[in-house]
């Protein structure tokens, strides 16, 4: 009888622990995902790089035109 009560309490506590760990890791994963998405946006959608990319492309095109002449 005492073993059954202990086992029920142990299993209940274990289920609560597993549910809590699941929530914890889900929350951490969600926050890490948000931060990585922000870093990706900063890296690939940087407005200060857009003009330099265009300028670099036009400089390369101008150099190709000059070399062709």
Range list of H helices, 1-69 = 2-44, 47-68
The tens digit of pLDDT for each residue in 18-45 reads 999 999 999 999 999 999 998 888 777 7
Query: Sign of the CA dihedral 31, 36, 40, 42?
Result: positive
Residue 64 has pLDDT above 80, yes or no: no
- 56-61: list long-range contacts, CB under 8 Å, 24+ apart: none
């Amino acid at each position: 009888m005492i073993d059954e009560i202990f086992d029920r309490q142990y299993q209940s506590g274990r289920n609560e622990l597993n549910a809590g760990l699941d929530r914890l890791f889900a929350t951490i994963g969600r926050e890490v995902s948000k931060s990585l998405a922000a870093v990706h946006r900063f890296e690939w959608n940087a407005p200060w790089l857009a003009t330099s990319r265009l300028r670099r492309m036009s400089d390369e095109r101008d150099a190709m035109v000059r070399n062709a002449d």
